[in-house]
């Protein structure tokens, strides 16, 4: 077991920029869900302010539309005592403006080919309001 440290801001930003998959935790306080958080992985892009992703219809979008306050998490681990993680709070926003949608997709795919997403795909951002990180290093 190692020692846990606060992750410096520059490493928080670096992990948010380089991780491929993050996790969104969202919650619907309606009767059908009993207020349980829903945690789901997603591929994403990050521009220094917001996390961008897209999704087809489903539970995640339903929850975020009803309650836009979400938590986003990314991590990496090289061993059980060598890892970094970032937890961020933010607000979900659907992107419908063509220019903003193009920025979001470029952020997600970089110079890669942007796939045909289909008419039902929703492009969205999580505007991050807080970020914190931890890491563990061997003793």
Q: Domains of the chain, with CATH numbers?
A: 3-137 (2.30.110.10)
Residue 42, pLDDT score: 94
Pseudo-torsion of CA 116, 65, 50, 98, nearest 10°?
40
- pLDDT for residue 31 is more than 70: no
For 35-69, the pLDDT digits (tens) are: 788 999 999 999 999 999 999 999 999 999 999 99
Instruction: Please tell me the predicted confidence (pLDDT) of residue 60.
Output: 94
- Concatenated DSSP letters of 43-83: E-EE-SSEEEEEE-SSHHHHHHHH--EEEEEEEEEEETTEE
- Where residue 2 falls among pLDDT bands split at 50, 70, 90? confident
Residue-by-residue DSSP string for 106-134:
HHHHTTSPPP---TT-EEEEEEEEEEEEE
Q: What's the pLDDT at 136?
A: 95
Q: pTM for this structure?
A: 0.91
pLDDT tens, 57-116? 999 999 999 999 999 999 999 999 999 999 999 999 999 999 999 999 999 998 878 888
Q: How confident is the model at residue 34 (pLDDT cuts 50, 70, 90)?
A: confident
């Amino acid at each position: 077991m190692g020692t846990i440290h606060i992750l410096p801001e520059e490493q928080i930003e670096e992990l948010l920029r380089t991780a491929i998959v993050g996790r969104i935790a969202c919650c619907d306080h309606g009767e059908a869900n009993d207020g349980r958080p829903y945690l789901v992985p997603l591929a994403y892009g990050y521009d220094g302010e917001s996390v961008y992703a897209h999704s087809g219809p489903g539970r995640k979008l339903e929850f975020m539309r009803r309650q836009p306050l979400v938590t986003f998490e990314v991590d990496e681990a090289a061993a059980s005592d060598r890892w970094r993680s970032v937890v961020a709070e933010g607000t979900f926003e659907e992107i419908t403006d063509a220019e903003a949608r193009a920025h979001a997709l470029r952020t997600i795919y970089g110079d890669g080919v942007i796939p045909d997403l289909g008419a039902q795909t929703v492009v969205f951002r999580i505007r991050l309001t807080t970020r914190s990180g931890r890491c563990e290093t061997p003793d």
